[in-house]
Amino acid sequence: MNTTYAEAGIAAITDVFAAQQKTAIRLRKSTADERIAKLKKLAATIEKYESAFIEAMYADFRKPRQEVIATEILPTLMDTRHAISNLRKWMKPKRVGTPASLFGASSYVQYEPKGVSLIIAPWNYPIYLVFGPLVYAIAAGCTAMVKPSELTPNTSAVIGRVIAEAFGKEEIACFEGGVEVSTALLELPFNHIFFTGSPAIGKVVMQAAAKHLTSVTLELGGKSPAFIDESTDLKDAAEKLVWGKFVNNGQTCVAPDYLLVKRERQEALINEMKNVIEKYYNADRQGVECSSSYARIVNDRHFQRISQLIADALEKGAHIETGGKTIAEERFIAPTILTNVTTHMKIMQEEIFGPVLPVITYDNLGEAIDFVNSMEKPLALYVFSKSNEKINRILQETSAGGTCVNDCVVHLVNHDLPFGGVNNSGIGKTHGFYGFEAFSNTRAVLRQRVGFTTVKTLYPPYGEKIDSMLKMMRRFFA
């Protein structure tokens, strides 16, 4: 068995990396049965530590037990089960066509493990965003060095215990610690890096990867908009938006970051959202701060950052429609909706990553589309509308990593959809086969019969015969 390396120091990193390089070569020959056995062991160990995870996440930022299960444990187990069920199909070489100019040959794509991988996970969903990528690394036949977030130390400690119990260090190892650990890991020539976090740190990771020409999957974030037009069912939209925005206290990479609302519908939508907030988080009328269903900001620094975003917006003319209450010693910020918001406010210049939802009105759809296109491409984009014409226009005229129509956030649980961003919101895709593919090299293989090739007529020495053959090939194949 392995140790968590929480106290082992930087020197242990290079030792484990060297051991995993040797293991990675051996794992190239690993079978589907061997990989499935490891996935089953991982799932069983996660389930064994479920209670410990629930306690740890409450200690880190008072995440409700139900949210830990629904947004951390269950998605991880679902990813694992899906990988187990489909791994044989994923690993099977995929036959592809062969052009007539290569008559006699056959072609296929063979998926081979990239090798030693690095998984750097964030704090907002610390269980799922460690084990989700790890599932696909194992499925692809890779080794992995895992770095959970130091901002959720209790949860990271349990993650380390799970990995130590389920795997040997030469295959999967967990390294707890701060920036110095991440920096040391990024110095190594990994075969693949899977990073989830902010665009700013994503650039640092990509720069480090470039030194070794290491491939990357960057799951980043950004300001994900939600469109509400004149045809939207406001009650339905309010229920979905309030859940998608305030689950995990707004600390979700695909949470709606701001709303674009048809001007005449703003007041009615906000009233609906106020009612939903009360129903979800203040049903007993004791105050949202007493709700057992409402998490907290992860640390004091992020609490101050979000509080300052609200203060800056109010100073520049924004209006609080609901919420605004803060309790510093609890890192509590009430579900807050802001109107009269402009792009001059800091809250519209960076990802909020907290329980604050700005509302911007528009008069015509083209104006709203132009607004979205003036920003960096988001990780997610949401459309609430009954008009297929408007839905299709938004899909055609905007760009985003993923989109939900008449819902939000839930697209990431569909294993048949690729999940990831575009440009500033991410590079590469994951989930389901796309996760397996992220940790795999798609190796091209062409097999020809011995003693037979259609290109033999092109072998030197060159002369008129080859010129004639090239003219014929141009006529038929070019």
Q: How far is CA 405 from CA 258, 375, 383, 423, in A?
A: 16, 20, 5, 22
User: Do 292 and 64 touch, CB atoms closer than 8 A?
Assistant: yes
- Rounded CA-CA distance 309/291 in Å is 24
- Rounded CA-CA distance 439/93 in Å is 16
Please state, as a whole number, how many other Cβ atoms lie within 10 Å of the Cβ of residue 235.
14
**DSSP code at position 96:** E
Q: What are phi and psi of 260, to 5 degrees?
A: -110, 110
408 is catalytic: no
In this structure, the strands spanning 116-120 and 192-196 are parallel
First to last CA, the chain: 59
The single-letter code of the amino acid at 149 is S
Of 313, 222, 322, give the one whose Cα is nearest residue 267: 322
> How many whole angstroms from its chain centre is CA 400?
13
- Rounded CA-CA distance 274/426 in Å is 33
The two structure tokens encoding residue 182: 């991440």
3-class SS of residue 71 = helix
404 is catalytic: no
User: Do 121 and 130 touch, CB atoms closer than 8 A?
Assistant: yes
| Length of the chain as a residue count | 478
In this structure, the strands spanning 440-447 and 215-219 are unpaired
Annotated catalytic residue, options 253, 272, 408, 437: 253
- Rounded CA-CA distance 74/238 in Å is 25
- Rounded CA-CA distance 347/288 in Å is 23
Annotated catalytic residue, options 72, 171, 176, 219: 219
The two structure tokens encoding residue 276: 């939903």
In this structure, the strands spanning 192-196 and 326-327 are unpaired
Please state, as a whole number, how many other Cβ atoms lie within 10 Å of the Cβ of residue 426.
27
**DSSP code at position 389:** H
- Rounded CA-CA distance 12/7 in Å is 10
The C-alpha R_g of the chain, in whole angstroms, comes to: 26
Residues serving a catalytic function are 219, 253
